[in-house]
Amino acid sequence: MGLSDRLRRLEREAEEEMFVIPQKDGTVARFPAPEGMEALLALIDGRDHPLAQAVRNSPDPEWQRSFYSAFPINPDEPDLSE
């Protein structure tokens, strides 16, 4: 097994434990798996999260239908959590 094959295998294994979200500009946003729970809790509390921002910026219909995009964040609304 060559070095490039090993690197591809390691990259594939690492991405299995990450959220990989394609972006409209052609880049990819990556988040560790535990960020998924943190993002969901933040959205439920009415706060935004970088993972949710990446989902909203994704052209992928599967990400657009995910529950991370189901919580619209309106920055014009006042924070009433206090």
Check whether 23 has a pLDDT greater than 90. yes
pTM of the model: 0.69
Q: Is residue 43 a part of any domain in this protein?
A: yes
CB 43 within 8 A of CB 73: yes
Smallest CA-to-CA distance from 68 within 17, 81, 44 is with 44
Q: Is residue 77 a part of any domain in this protein?
A: no
Q: Could you report the per-residue pLDDT of 44-82, keeping only the tens digit for each?
A: 888 889 999 999 999 999 998 888 887 766 656 665 666
Q: Is residue 74 a part of any domain in this protein?
A: no
Q: Is residue 56 a part of any domain in this protein?
A: yes
How far apart CA 49 and CA 54 sit, in angstroms, is 9
- Runs of H (alpha helix) within the chain: 3-15, 34-44, 50-56, 61-64
Domain count along the chain: 1
Q: Is residue 21 a part of any domain in this protein?
A: yes
Q: Is residue 37 a part of any domain in this protein?
A: yes
Q: What domain range is 17 assigned to?
A: 7-69
**Partners of residue 7 on adjacent β-strands:** none
Q: Is residue 76 a part of any domain in this protein?
A: no
